[in-house]
Amino acid sequence: MKIGLIGLPKSGKTTLFNLLTGSKVATARYDGGRAELHTGVARVPDSRVDRLASIFKPKKTTYATFEVVDLAGIERGERAGLDTKEFRNADALLHVVRAFADEALGAPAPKRDIEDLDTELILADLEVVDRRLERLEASIKKQRKDADVKEQAILTRLKHELERETPLRAVALTPDEARAIRGYTFLSQKPILHCVNVDEKAIADGPTAIEKLGLGRAAQRAQTRIGWVSAVIEAEVAELAGDEQRAFLADLGLEEPAIHRVLSDCYALLGLVSFFTVGEDEVRAWPIPEGTRAQAAAGTVHSDIERGFIRAEVASYDDLVAVEGSFAELRARGQQRLEGKDYIVRDGEICHFRFNVAK
């Protein structure tokens, strides 16, 4: 699963990309605006993984991950720039919104930037819909195919929604309709996190920034989240470790780096949850789309396990932690369940898969 960074030039996208992925791509206040694409992998912090690792003391601890792509900024009204395969292929968008002061860029206007981007995404989709409807109409005139007529009906409905400035992420679709339009990779259909990059001088206002900037209503829209971060401060936090980091965060009035929340928000926005596998070799969080069946979840561990799936032994995180990781005790308490292939794996469950590899 992949999230795409989007936003105006110099809003702090690459700075945030570095924070999310632990990369060190150069950022610049002024440059020629050369379009460069960066991709990286973000690790999702999870205190449950930390706890499990402290119990099992494994050789390896692996956190859940997702992919991040960072592109050059897109100027206001430069809609064509949105129509790239990187944006189209992203499963969700992370919109970096400048709220820090910068003389060259002028006063920040986060609320307007969010509205403008939403509009751009809607207009980009409307162009695609209009073009397709024109072609459908011509082809239906020539030869009336049921599939074409059906698609025309769906697209006509979407056109009306878009014309009313409703992003497609807020439009309810039947599974059939969703399947029919998947190929268009509509931009306004992607879940979006607007991440406000607050001024370092206003870091204390971080938690109240959303309300202060008048973004409370936007946060209530379908598949939309609003978060905040001070990218420059987080970059400093990332340079520190252990007690030094804790002390610095405490000075800022933060319990943990703000980027942790952004990472968790992105993960949730992508519709991902984690199940865990534990043992002395490895404690690991496995990302799966919410609603994944046990057999498919097994497939994320290994395709052989999916193919030869017999049963999943499932326990809750809390129950396992309460018995300090003792599976014998867990079984004695009747807290380990055997589930079949259609069982829906839930966030935080500890799974062990029984399987049989066909020779």
Ligand X SMILES: Nc1nc2c(ncn2[C@@H]2O[C@H](COP(=O)(O)OP(=O)(O)OP(=O)(O)O)[C@@H](O)[C@H]2O)c(=O)[nH]1
Provide the binding-site residues for ligand X, judged by CB under 6 A.
7, 9-15, 27-29, 72-73, 100, 197, 200, 230-232
Residues 64-83 that bind Mg ion (CB under 5 A): none
Q: How many whole angstroms separate alpha carbon 183 and alpha carbon 155?
A: 13
Pick 27 or 223: Cβ nearer ligand X: 27
Determine the Cα–Cα distance for residues 260 and 249; give it in Å rounded to an integer.
13
C-beta of 231: minimal distance to ligand X in Å?
4
The residue at minimum Cβ distance from Mg ion is: 14
Residue 328 in contact with residue 321, Cβ under 8 Å? no
Give the shortest CB-73-to-ligand X separation in angstroms: 3
Region binding Mg ion by CB under 5 A among candidate stretches 9-17, 117-125, 163-171, 348-356 = 9-17
8 A C-beta contact, residue 214 and residue 113: no
User: Within 13 Å and on the Cβ side, how many CA atoms surround 309?
Assistant: 24
Told to check if 18 binds Mg ion by CB under 5 A, we report: no
Rounded CA gap, 336 and 352, in Å? 10
CA end-to-end distance (rounded Å), the chain: 33
Whole-number minimum distance, CB 115 to ligand X, in Å? 19
Give the residue with the Cβ less far from ligand X, 238 or 322.
238
- CB-nearer residue toward Mg ion: 25 or 101: 25
For residues 200 and 265, which CB has a smaller minimum distance to ligand X in the complex? 200
Rounded least distance, CB 342 to ligand X, Å: 44
Q: Which is nearer to ligand X, 160 or 201 (CB)?
A: 201
Residue 100 binds which one of ligand X, Mg ion, none, with CB within 5 to 8 A depending on kind?
Answer: ligand X
What span, in angstroms and rounded, lies between the C-alpha atoms of 3 and 348? 22
Q: Are the C-beta atoms of 194 and 11 separated by less than 8 Å?
A: no
Distance CA 112, CA 97 (A): 10
Of the ranges 7-15, 211-219, 225-233, 294-302, which one interacts with Mg ion (CB under 5 A)? 7-15
Report in angstroms how near the CB of residue 86 gets to Mg ion at its nearest.
Answer: 13
CB of 234 to ligand X, least distance (A): 8
Minimum distance from residue 102 beta carbon to ligand X (Å): 6
Distance of CA 135 to the CA centre of its chain: 34
Q: Whole-angstrom Cα distance, residue 207 to residue 178?
A: 36
Q: Are 13 and 96 in contact (CB under 8 A)?
A: yes
Residue 299 binding result from Mg ion, ligand X, none, given CB thresholds of 5 to 8 Å by partner type: none
Is position 14 an interface residue for Mg ion (rule: CB under 5 A)? Answer: yes
Pairing of strands 282-289, 60-62: parallel
SS3 string, 148-182, reads HHHHHHHHHHHHHHHHCCCCHHHCCCCHHHHHHHH
Residue nearest to ligand X (CB): 73
**Cβ distance 177 to 154 under 8 Å?**
yes
Q: Select from Mg ion, ligand X, none the partner in contact with residue 81, using the beta carbon and a kind-dependent cut-off of 5 to 8 Å.
A: none
Among Mg ion, ligand X, none, the one that 225 touches (CB under a kind-dependent 5 to 8 A) is none
Which residue's entry shows tokens 């992420």? 169
Q: Which of residues 273-292 bind Mg ion (CB under 5 A)?
A: none
Pick between residue 14 and residue 292 the one whose CB is nearest to ligand X.
14
Which stretch of DSSP H or E encloses residue 197?
strand 192-198
> What gap in Å lies between CA 44 and CA 13, rounded to an integer?
18
Q: Which residue's CB is nearer to ligand X, number 230 or number 295?
A: 230
User: Least separation, in Å, of the C-beta of 240 and ligand X?
Assistant: 17
When the beta carbons of 96 and 273 are compared against ligand X, the nearer one is 96
Tokens, residue 137: 């109409």
Contact residues toward Mg ion (CB under 5 A) are 13-14
